[in-house]
Amino acid sequence: MFVLQSYPAAVVFCVITMFCWGSWANTQKLARKGWRFELFYWDYTIGVLLLTLILGLTLGSSGSAGRPFLEDLRQASQSSIFSALLGGAIFNAANILLVAAIDIAGMAVAFPVGIGLALVLGVVVNYVADPIGNAGLLFGGVALVVLAILLDATAYRKIPGGAAGVSTKGLVLSVSCGLLMGFFYRFVAASMYPDFTQPAPGTFGPYAAVFVFAVGIFLSNFILNTLVMKKPFVGAPVAFSDYFGGDFRTHLTGILGGMIWGVGMSFNIIASGRAGFAISYGLGQGATMVAALWGVFIWKEFRAAPAGTSKLIGAMFLCFLAGIVLIIRARL
């Protein structure tokens, strides 16, 4: 299978992860007007599953390093399979809660609480399990990225109508999302052996791990998303028949969104072989700032914001870039 041979290459893969994780949600904006997220999400999970399978059968089946993709799947232990599947189910629950939190409390609450908590927890948990890199630089960089997320939230609150009421329900959903999002990656990492070139028997290589993780997302969706369709956090219930009312373009847009996110997750896991799980996850979660870039420059979300907001946005990006530099240097 294809593996990375250098840390700089791993950093490039993590940067690609940031852009993929920060960009996939744009496909929902491109879907048919009025197309509910619950319906979009079925196609999204299909896209993630397809992408990880394609990468497994191509990059994961070429080269002489490690085990080929299909052989890797056949030899995996029950504990490795369960760990990766559980990681997928946990991520799925966290992602659904994040969207619900955005709908109820707004981005100004959901992102700093949910993603900020996930970033800190994820880096701490993965560093404790696999302490690779300079802890001072790593956690200093994480602190700056969290500060950037807080500045991003403050800027969003200045947009007319952006200061959504902070309900107890919105906060609970945001915290729940953060707790789950902070732990899903550890279960995927636990299913793998850190040395991808010579994986231990019963453990996964990166391609098999991320594919089984995607299977966990897809299978858990039949429970989690079905419940949300019947009892949505916001809006009226959605019927399965509504899904089949979407045209080809609408479904393809959702699948594309899942494939974009899947590229990010796959590249992040591949990069972890050289960067370490904590650094790889920490860099990937900088995706929030990529999403902010889309909001500022493409969707013009701040055009109605009052004077002075641009200074907040500038400070946000400076903190983000400084944090990313520190996280990268933690492994040098």
Report yes or no on 297 lying in a domain.
yes
**Is the pLDDT score of 50 beyond 90?**
yes
Report yes or no on 148 lying in a domain.
yes
**Is the pLDDT score of 207 beyond 80?**
yes
Its domain, for residue 204, covers 7-329
The domain total for the chain is: 1
C-alpha angle 243-248-254 in degrees, rounded to nearest 5: 65
Percentage of the chain lying above the pLDDT 70 cut? 97
Question: What separation, in Å, do the N-terminal and C-terminal C-alpha atoms of the chain show?
Answer: 26
Beta-carbon count within 10 A of 50 CB: 16
Q: Which pLDDT score, from 0 to 100, does residue 166 have?
A: 56
Q: Which pLDDT score, from 0 to 100, does residue 109 have?
A: 72
User: 54-111 pLDDT, tens per residue?
Assistant: 999 999 999 888 999 999 999 999 999 999 999 999 999 999 998 888 878 776 678 8
Question: Taking Cα atoms as reference points, which of 133, 127, 119 lies closest to residue 326?
Answer: 133
Of the candidate ranges 60-69, 142-151, 300-309, 321-330, the one whose mean pLDDT is the lowest: 300-309
Report yes or no on 162 lying in a domain.
yes
Mean pLDDT of 106-119: 82
Which residues are within 8 A (CB) of 1 and not within 5 positions of it... i.e. 6 or more apart? 59, 60, 61, 62, 63, 65, 66, 67, 68, 69, 72, 196, 205, 206, 207
Report yes or no on 1 lying in a domain.
no
User: 317-329 pLDDT, tens per residue?
Assistant: 999 999 999 999 9
User: Tokens standing for 176?
Assistant: 């729940």
Contact 247, 32 (CB under 8 A): yes
Q: Which pLDDT score, from 0 to 100, does residue 36 have?
A: 93
Contact 285, 114 (CB under 8 A): no
Report yes or no on 283 lying in a domain.
yes
**Is the pLDDT score of 144 beyond 90?**
yes
Region label for 106, one of left (φ > 0), alpha (ψ between -120 and 50) or beta (otherwise): left
Report yes or no on 147 lying in a domain.
yes
CA dist 189 and 186 (Å) reads 5
**Is the pLDDT score of 126 beyond 70?**
yes
Q: 204 in helix, strand or coil? A: strand
CA dist 148 and 182 (Å) reads 18
Mean pLDDT of 296-314: 87
Q: How far is CA 2 from CA 55, 197, 206, in A?
A: 10, 9, 10
Report yes or no on 265 lying in a domain.
yes
**Is the pLDDT score of 266 beyond 60?**
yes
Q: The pTM is what? A: 0.93
**Is the pLDDT score of 23 beyond 80?**
yes
User: 208-263 pLDDT, tens per residue?
Assistant: 999 999 999 999 999 999 999 999 988 899 999 999 999 999 999 999 999 999 99
Report yes or no on 2 lying in a domain.
no
**Is the pLDDT score of 164 beyond 60?**
no
Of the candidate ranges 212-221, 262-271, 274-283, 285-294, the one whose mean pLDDT is the lowest: 285-294
